[in-house]
Structure 1
Amino acid sequence: MKRRTAREKALQILFPLDREEYNVNEAMNYLISDEEQDSFLINLVNGVVQNKEEIDEKISANLQKWSLNRLATVERTLLRIATYELFYAQDAPSSVVINEAIEIAHIFGDDKSGKFINGVLSKML
């Protein structure tokens, strides 16, 4: 699976992360067939789930006039994925991680999502 596809799947899997009844394994089983199992995707999803509190703190520290809870779910989820990649996985150049997050935001978010995500991620670095 291409990393772009894995990032899009991760967004779909992690989208309901803030719900109390969320179960990451059920979400992965529902959205990914056995032949689609990909180590990058699995590491990305599990990494975000395991480091959610620290990731959320990093994001919150770089938001201006916003709180994490006020963000649209797409932006919040993409920021979590990109923050995990930038500070925990570190296996892709930061410019690639940011560009991918912006491109995916253009697909799943609104017309301002990409610019917002770019601003927050750039400030983190």
Structure 2
Amino acid sequence: MIAARRQARELALQALYELDMTRHPVGEVIETRLRETEDLLPEAEPFMRQLVRGVVEHRDEIDPYVAQIAPEWPIEQMAVVDRNILRLALYELLYTPETPYKVVINEAVELAKEFGGPNSPRFINGALGTFVSMYLNRASSQE
């Protein structure tokens, strides 16, 4: 299950990157990513679809958070990979509460190590840590 979710996140990041750089239709990008993936784990497919569609559908809600947790980087100037790792992680944090936030952050940092630049893992970890302390810890302390 863990391997399938990691594979789904990697595929989702690749799809989100492509969507950010092109005007390709969402469904077409998802199908291409899935078709071109060797050794696709069956459990990865539905989660990948959920992640990509979720980020696309909620991007207008997610991007203001990205701007707040990384104010030194205007979102349009942020590295495309970093921007989409943050979108992906924030989607999970906001809309899939069954995934523990520590897992989401760890997975995002792993994506940053694999696909981002040399400073990406630290940047992603710091930005998501800021989000958790600003929004998630506050919400849980008010319950």
Does TM, normalized by the shorter one, top 0.5? yes
1:4 to 3, 6, 9: 6
SS at match of 1:68: coil
Aligned to 2:23: 21
Where 1:40 maps in the other structure, the secondary structure is helix
Report deviation, 1:62. Answer: 1.3
SS across alignment from 1:22 = coil
Among candidates 41, 60, 66, match of residue 59 of structure 1: 66
Q: Which digits, 9 at most, give the CA deviation of each residue in 1:40-62, with x for residues without a partner?
A: 11111110000001100111111
Contact 2:110 2:121 in 1 (8 A): yes
Q: CA deviation at 1:23?
A: 1.1
Once structures 1 and 2 are overlaid, which stretch shifts more, 60-69 or 95-104? Answer: 60-69
Scaled by the length of structure 1, what TM-score is found?
A: 0.92
Give the equivalent residue in structure 2 for 1:32: 34
- Is the 2:89–2:108 contact (alpha carbons within 8 Å) kept by the matching residues of 1? yes
Unaligned runs of at least 5 residues, structure 1: none
> What displacement does 1:91 show?
2.2
Displacement of 1:20: 6.0
Unpaired runs of at least 5, structure 2: 133-143
Q: How many residues align?
A: 125
The CA distance in 2 between the partners of 1:20 and 1:75, in whole Å, is 17
1:104 to 87, 111, 114: 111
With the length of structure 2 as denominator, give the TM-score of the two structures: 0.81
Measured after TM superposition, the shift of residue 29 of structure 1 is 1.3
Letter in 1 for 2:10: E
Q: Answer yes or no: is 1:95 the counterpart of 2:102.
A: yes
